[in-house]
Amino acid sequence: MARYTDPVCRICRREGLKLFLKGSRCYSKKCSFERRSTPPGMNPTRRRKVSEFGLQMREKQRVRRSYSVLERQFRNYFRDAERQRGMTGENLLRLLEMRLDNVVFRMGFASSRAQARQLVTHGHFSINGRATKSPSYQTSVGDRIEVRDTRRSRAFFQTAPETMRAAQVPDWVSNDPSKLSGTILAQPTREQMPMEFNEQLVVEYYSR
């Protein structure tokens, strides 16, 4: 499975936006973006004027990198969003939010999407009683995600209840720290999805 393996702090600096890719570190004084927000490279200067295409591409990259999705997969998500009823940009964000790795992150099992992705690929979770290792699995309303019985004794999950209680869980999911589980209550609305993204620019990028 292909994935980005270079320093993720460079991504935030390149996009000029904190994408919270390293979990709790992003909220501390150690955050690289806070200490040095200029783009990476020998001459970290920003162009004063960016073309319309440049704005569209940058926004597409911000969304794609925030959810740790590769280009081809992101394009497929956009095509699926176009086929659905409603606004394409909102449908796109909803598809990304309903990915299993993002749901695990939203429920508070992990401090970042990267950590959630790793937990899923290692087979720690089951959906409605069935184990899965696919981070891109599209969850549905009513799905119950929980830590498998054979994995609950792991050291990581011994402290997971505290992490789940401290997490800011959105209204469209619920979590039960005592049972190391969570349930998808509804599909997220636009107000419940990241507001720092301008999904219309992404739609315009792929509609050229």
Q: For 120-173, how does the pLDDT look when each residue is reduced to its tens digit (9 = 90+)?
A: 999 999 999 999 999 999 999 999 999 999 999 999 999 999 999 999 999 999
Q: Smallest Cα–Cα separation from 186: which of 146, 145, 142?
A: 142
Length of the chain in terms of residues written: 208
Q: Are 148 and 119 spatial neighbours (Cβ–Cβ below 8 Å)?
A: no
Report how far residue 137's alpha carbon sits from residue 196's, in angstroms, rounded to the nearest whole number: 25
For the question of whether the overall pTM of this predicted structure is more than 0.85, the answer is no
**The pLDDT value given to residue 49:** 78
Between residues 93 and 30, the one the model is more confident about: 93
**The pLDDT value given to residue 188:** 97
Q: Smallest Cα–Cα separation from 167: which of 180, 154, 155?
A: 180
Segment holding 67, helix H or strand E: none
**The pLDDT value given to residue 1:** 45
Reported confidence tier of residue 76, pLDDT bands at 50, 70, 90: very high
For 38-72, the pLDDT digits (tens) are 666 665 555 567 889 989 998 999 899 889 899 99
Q: Smallest Cα–Cα separation from 96: which of 43, 139, 130, 144?
A: 139
**The pLDDT value given to residue 57:** 92
Q: What's phi and psi for 181, nearest 5 deg?
A: -145, 170
Report how far residue 180's alpha carbon sits from residue 160's, in angstroms, rounded to the nearest whole number: 8
Q: Are 19 and 62 spatial neighbours (Cβ–Cβ below 8 Å)?
A: yes
